[in-house]
Amino acid sequence: MKAGIDEERIDEKSQQNFAQNRLVIIYPKENPRKFSELVNLSTPGLNVILAAKEEPVGQYSLEFLDKAAQDPIYGPTLKETVIENLVSYEVIVKNLLTKALLGEGDGRIVYSSDITPTATGK
């Protein structure tokens, strides 16, 4: 949208949201580490998989961790402790869901739209 506005092909006042997405945390159904919430991503020994920062969801995930670290519920070290648990940065975003379905890793941040009906509950 920004490119169209910058090129004066779209009137900035006419833009409207027609789609949205949000970040969610997913984990394998078996959930052997009893992962259940964001703060668990910082639990020592948890295996976290994120999209590479070159991917939009990867960059948004890192930005989200920065913002969450400003909330006293999570504390200022949230992002750094999550990064310490990182076992993989995936350059192919679909690998995040695939690895969850295979039971690899404990938690990951993806777009809600990445959760397909066939993956739900697995």
pLDDT for residue 102: 84
CATH topology of domain 21-114: D-Maltodextrin-Binding Protein; domain 2 (3.40.190)
Mean pLDDT value of segment 43-69? 93
Give the pLDDT score at 98.
86
> What is the per-residue pLDDT for 65?
96
pLDDT value for 33: 78
C-alpha pair distances (Å), 63 with each of 67, 68, 90, 105: 6, 9, 17, 21
Domain residue ranges in the chain: 21-114
- Coil, helix or strand at residue 6: helix
Distance of alpha carbon 24 from alpha carbon 113, whole angstroms: 9
Q: How confident is the model at residue 95 (pLDDT cuts 50, 70, 90)?
A: confident
Average pLDDT over residues 1-14: 87
What pLDDT, on a 0 to 100 scale, did the predictor assign at position 115?
83
E strand segments, the chain = 23-26, 48-51, 86-90, 107-111
